[in-house]
Amino acid sequence: MTVDASAECRIAREMFEADNASRALGIQILELSPGHAVASMVVGETMVNGHGITHGGFVFTLADTAFAMACNGYDTAAVAARADIRFLTATRLGDTLVAEAVERARFGHNGLYDVTVRRGDDVIAEFRGDSRCLRPVSTY
């Protein structure tokens, strides 16, 4: 695992530690640096739909987790403002999926990220997400 230990990635690391949903699915963060993240997940029995293929919601969750890590790699917390996914091919029980999030642009409080989800060398989905930085909460 290549995880940036700098203060910049502190928010992403703390967020993932508290992310019960992603961790319950067995998602692991393989790489983390500002604007970039790689996450992986093995398709389990509870992730397969009635067609015997991975439910798209789980593929989306993996991509969304990588996106969240990449956009929270800076010193300001960020959330998704919009996200969509294109499913290109199916995966099945036991497949290992790897999602790589790459920052395309960061401007003001906004960011644009692309996430490619792969099974080995095969691209199975493309995800695009817009992030929005949160304003710090006042404690007065």
Which residue spans within the chain are E strands per DSSP?
2-3, 28-33, 36-42, 78-87, 96-107, 110-119, 122-133
pLDDT given for residue 137 in this prediction: 52
pLDDT given for residue 7 in this prediction: 64
- pLDDT for residue 95 is more than 70: yes
Kindly tell me the burial class for residue 24, based on how many C-beta atoms sit within 10 Å of its own C-beta (0-12, 13-18, 19 or more).
exposed
Mean pLDDT of all residues in 12-29: 95
- pLDDT for residue 140 is more than 50: no
Q: Using one digit for the tens of pLDDT, what is the confidence trace for 42-73?
A: 999 999 999 999 999 999 999 999 999 999 99
Closest among 16, 14, 47 to 30, alpha carbons compared: 16
Mean pLDDT of all residues in 84-112: 97
Indicate the pTM of the whole model: 0.91
Considering just the CA atoms, what is the radius of gyration of the chain in Å?
15
